[in-house]
Amino acid sequence: MDVTDKASTFKRGSDPRLITTRGKLQNRRCKLNQEINKELRLRAGAENLYKATSNKKLRDKINLELSFMNSTLQLLKEQLAELNSAVDVYQHEKHEDYLPMIPLGLKETKDVDFFEQFSDFILEHYSVDPANFEDAILDLIDTRQATRTPTRDIELHGVDLLCKYYNLLYFAERRFFPVNRNLGLYFEWYDSLTGEPTCQKTITLEKASTLFNIAALYTQIGAKQDRTQLKELNGAVDCFLKAAGIFQHIIETFTNAPSTDLKPFVLEVFVYLMRAQARECILKRLQMENSRDYEILLIEAQCLMREYSKIHYDVQSNEINFPACWEALIPLKTEYFKALSHVYFAKSISKSDTVKNEIIDEKHRLKTIKAHLQASQASHEEILRLQRMCRELRNKINIAKVLHNLEECIVNEMFTLPENIKDDEGEIIDTTLKEAQSKYTLVNTAPDFGKVDDPFRDLGPITVFSARRSWSAPRSVRLHKTDYQTRSYGTEEFGFSIKSESPVMISSVDINSVADLGGIKVGDYIVEIAGHEAKWFTQSQILENIRASMNTLDLKVITPMIYQKQDSADKNKKLESYAESSSGFSSGASSPTNTNKPIKGRFAGVWNRLKAHSIQKGLFHH
């Protein structure tokens, strides 16, 4: 998707936070994050004071204050966990018949003003008037501000906005963030799980947090889909797999995560969770399309049981600080799909002729059905226990309705069995379900961020004019040929050759030529010619301006630092050679020709007008 096509429609189309229920929730999250940050700073100050003082009375007083601060901090984190537990807000209005999905909240951040630092860097590093880039810098600031409140519409305008900002960060990083210094910008982001702030000088945190918010927005849009409609079910699968792909991209791209929600083991759990929720949508679709194909439904329910069981194990073993609602909902879903698997197995035995033929003994078949239904009842009771243990899940009407439907299904299947089916004493029916692989392989969708134009294009091609490279200040050079030089070497010849495209580089300079005497060096880039900006000029455009210049050519060139270092080294070698020759040593070479005397044949390769557009090995000769 080309983000530039939609820039005008969604750049300012973000929620004002107080219009929608989800906007109010995000507004409350923002305030809680600020309060948590305030308490953390107060606690840090009190701890430093406690370490610095030796007064026992003062220490006791600080200890008391610290206990109050810790209590307040714990209360604020619990309130944040309650906000994260408000999963119903992100569900569709018709969500009474299925279990809720788990969406992720957006990471909050503080305002950052790039204007002063970027303007100073443009003037210092690029030697360009920063007034020419005021609109580009302000546009970047406005886009960042808009990303704090993206829309959550199905048209994905909010996602497009975040993708646009992420692409702009690429250009900002290349243009304004050198490796060896810092601009004095600080990016502060809050952990979406704990609310604790993280502040860094590098733009890496900004990029990773923006990616996290893109994935989180996909989870919210996926959870909002109507799962009673096949089209929206497919849309939910797509959103969850895209979220999983972005989380995986963060794991593979960024290291040394400063916050909990960006740590690899947490992101891996998010990847598994998104894929499990995508499979949950697939099962719902199969229930609508193949409601009586119990063998296929059994396999998908089994896969979901295993996936949620793995997620629950990872959360417990890594001690991830998930909200209480999430921690209870994951094992609840594990037991739910386990119960559903037993029900589908019982139905497949009862209805499928293939399975009937496998179990020849009719009495044993009925006992097997009953045993699996009893196992399903046991899982149902465990679900009720998990629901009672979690305050956030206890009063959720949709969960109660789903569990009631499951209980009715089990009871109805029980009623279909003959009343005289009794378990023989000492007989144990194995209810272990054989593992089967789903025919639906879920693959994380690789992120596609689209494309945007470089807002700082006028600085020049980013491969050369970036913060990672250095060059001299632009210097003006006027090349003027005498009548004798014009008659001898032609009107277009100035004694230098060029290569490459945008920007054009000086590839060679003839000794004692007009260019050499004018100060042109090998490796210089032409940034201006005849009063025209030439950073984006091609070789043919440079040649046209040279032809039009006749006897006088005005240039502005810059010298990359690597060539300046080479020039210094060459000068040192010449000085050493001069010192050796003055000491009585001779190299045996002839003396250099007098530079004041014109040298015939020096310009033997004068540019031929009939071959003005010829290229030999990528070099142009003038």
Look at 13-22, 116-125, 198-207, 429-438 and tell me which has the smallest mean pLDDT.
Answer: 13-22
pLDDT band at 585 (very low <50, low <70, confident <90, very high): very low
pLDDT value at 13 more than 60: no
Name the more confident of 82 and 553. 553
Asked whether the predicted pLDDT for residue 267 surpasses 50, the reply is: yes
Collapsed DSSP state (helix, strand, coil) of residue 542: helix
Q: What pLDDT is attached to residue 394? A: 85
Q: What is the pLDDT of residues 130-163, one digit of tens each?
A: 999 999 999 999 999 999 888 888 888 899 999 9
Res. 115: pLDDT tops 90: yes
pLDDT at residue number 42: 87
Residue 588 has pLDDT above 50, yes or no: no
State the Cα–Cα distance between residues 260 and 249, nearest whole angstrom.
17
φ/ψ of 73, rounded to 5, equals -65, -40
Closest by alpha carbon to 311, among 361, 339, 270, 347? Answer: 270
Does residue 618 carry a pLDDT above 80? no
pLDDT-derived band at 420 (thresholds 50, 70, 90) equals low
Segment (H or E) for 489: helix 483-489
> pLDDT grade, residue 617 (50/70/90)?
very low
Contacting residues for 132 by C-beta, under 8 A, at least 6 apart: 458
Average pLDDT score over residue span 315-336: 90
E runs forming strands in 468-615: 475-480, 496-499, 505-509, 525-529, 532-533, 552-558
Exposure on the CB side of residue 119, measured as CA atoms within 13 A: 11
- The residue that leads in pLDDT, 55 or 615, is 55
pLDDT digits (tens, 9 = 90+) for 277-300: 999 999 999 999 877 788 899 999
Whole-number pLDDT of residue 145: 92
- 573 pLDDT more than 90: no
Model confidence at 600, pLDDT cuts 50, 70, 90, reads: very low
168-177, 474-483, 497-506, 601-610: lowest mean pLDDT where?
601-610
pLDDT, average across residues 543-562: 87
Tokens coding 211: 């990616």
Rounded CA-CA distance 145/157 in Å is 15
Could you report the per-residue pLDDT of 256-266, keeping only the tens digit for each? 888 999 999 99
Q: What is the pLDDT of residue 427?
A: 60
Q: How confident is the model at residue 424 (pLDDT cuts 50, 70, 90)?
A: low
Give the pLDDT of residue 196: 86
Mean pLDDT of all residues in 182-201: 89
Residue-level pLDDT at 611: 36
The pLDDT assigned to 598 comes to 40
Does residue 237 surpass a pLDDT of 90?
yes
- 470-487 residue pLDDT tens: 999 999 999 887 755 555
pLDDT of residue 584: 34
How sure is the predictor about 415, in pLDDT bands with cuts at 50, 70 and 90? confident
Q: Name which of 8-22, 369-383, 597-611 the model is least confident about.
A: 597-611
DSSP per-residue string spanning 402-424: HHHHHHHHHHHHHHTS-TT--PP
pLDDT per residue as tens digits for the range 356-391 = 455 556 777 888 888 899 999 999 999 999 999 988
Is the pLDDT assigned to residue 612 strictly greater than 80? no
User: Average pLDDT of 523-529?
Assistant: 92
* pLDDT tier for residue 93 given thresholds of 50, 70 and 90: confident
Beta bridge pairs of residue 560: 471
* pLDDT score for 606: 38
CATH of domain 471-583+597-621: 2.30.42.10
Residue 86 has pLDDT above 90, yes or no: no
8 A C-beta contact, residue 64 and residue 128: no
Tokens of 117: 């630092």
More confident residue, 422 or 472: 472
| 237 or 291: which leads in pLDDT | 237
Domain with CATH 2.30.42.10 in the chain: 471-583+597-621
Cα(245)–Cα(251) distance, rounded to whole angstroms? 10
**What would the mean pLDDT of 443-455 be, rounded to a whole number?**
90
